[in-house]
Structure 1
């Protein structure tokens, strides 16, 4: 029997999930929606609070989740709005009367924990990558490291999505060994996880990511321009503020006809199933859900060796990890996988096995529901 069923057997509880942004669907958003839906299906009462009204709200309601928009919760630092957001959150929590509050993302993580603790409610925080991680400016790291040290005192449990992030927190004195725990992200199964290994001369590369920091599509384009073999085509899925500059760069590099900019798409599993190699080039990460999606689809992966990426991708086994800024390393990895259908297939099969044995949604949900139970038991 799974831990989720065990928890339901003890008692059904009321959980409120909080996240900052509604205007985009990123990894943290997908994680929260999957988790909220899973908790609901396990028999618990679930409400979701999010800043603003956007695509996130629509997705949540399409899933049958109770989703409430917060007027003043915004991503940017705004003292006036942040104070209003705290009282808005506090009022909503007072109205909903949850047994436990689970907050996600930096701003919601801070204000949500403060509001929860002001009402005597247990608070769990998931860090989807720390704002003081490697690759972030030293000034920003200093500020957020000290903020999170203080906020750890308002946390009944801190969850990191990678062991890399857990060790980063402990080194920064954010929480302690008992407060900070790693629960790797997990992805639900989809209708078909089979990738069609083609013998086409054109190798289909795909990167799925917003065009904004920390994603670095430009670095990928520059590396591809240096790959000697030209039998590849690249699909870039996503939108965002750096999209147009990436288009211009592709033209300047003379590879525009080989790059497809697909924009934001809601059929990513289908696009992955039509691809041969998945790529994620980032300056920093937590534990990227897009890599798990690619592994689920049986794709070999090339990714930056940042955050918890190496906990997903074993270098040379189910893909290649490349040090941040190592353009020649990226060129070499691309060249190997573009040239060898056998290597692509071998690494793809290995990645799919790693996904099914370590990173399914059910594994993650069971662990998180067990954490909820422990937190509630401690705070009775």
Structure 2
């Protein structure tokens, strides 16, 4: 079917809240390129929102999924388990830097992972409160919407949010929130709203994802760890977007050396197959009763096969080194744009988790220009995303495996768009 025909069906049958504003439909993809239903080619700088760190349809992952389809597609692992779930849990327990011996629960999405992390923390501590941060993003289920540090568009139309969720400022010096101010705000939250003896966990992203690609400093993460230890609270790190090589290490928290109690992951974990995980210290992971965690599709055989293949690709193709090298290339290009365009500011990266700001003449955020840039890029054959609390951040989530020629083609499109729009 053509793009036009599919758009007509979308208007008729897809809920408005779930319908993509895009009018082109993916037909096939390879590494960092997508072709739509009309045969038009796009350079992909979105990677399915950080899901495709090793590219669309990596051959090793495709092969592993096909092989699994010839064996078992589904049993529900709580009814009859299978090797993939256990082997993947073993692998994740070895690579995830949580305290002590790690155990694993597999789920289907990042939001599911966060929901279950809260359940586990409550069971382990006997407490109810959780503290999250301004600008944080954790999902679209009811409880994770309450945890998000941004209202629109995630929670605008959905009524009262669940209780026992409290907020603290995230340190973003660029937007006027210093590390000291963020720590002061966190301590004030514990004093005025969330009594420590009733608080199960502090949950944060080591690098804000939807919130704008701002990394927390090593010292801030160390202080959060100290506060959790002081009050017997768990530290939960959300690596859904920053994990699996995006920052030049397997997980962003590794840049700090801090070990959380629980960690959530998803997105690039299985190169497009739906799976997520909660990995944590064994005594915490075992705190809830038998059959208290799980779901019909959690850790499906095909998704486990894909995730195991992804981990092999990381070892065989030096993905972490490629992420660091990609980040350096992006940083160099950002620096050139900052010199050339007055509207480009604050280029930054941690490995290949890279972004810059678009600002007005008075240095305030320019969300309108960010939207125009993404739209203009799409017209020229580049899929580009914005993000951030103020909607003015341009983020880069192309596959780490992108070929240099395709990378430069996409970056040239960004520059051409900036020339046209400014």
Query: Greater share of helix residues, 1 or 2?
Result: 1
TM-score past 0.5 threshold: no
Q: Comparing both chains, which one has the higher relative contact order based on Cα–Cα distances under 8 Å and sequence gaps of 6 or more?
A: 2
TM bucket, shorter chain: 0.3 to 0.5
TM-score by length of 1: 0.34
TM-score by length of 2: 0.31
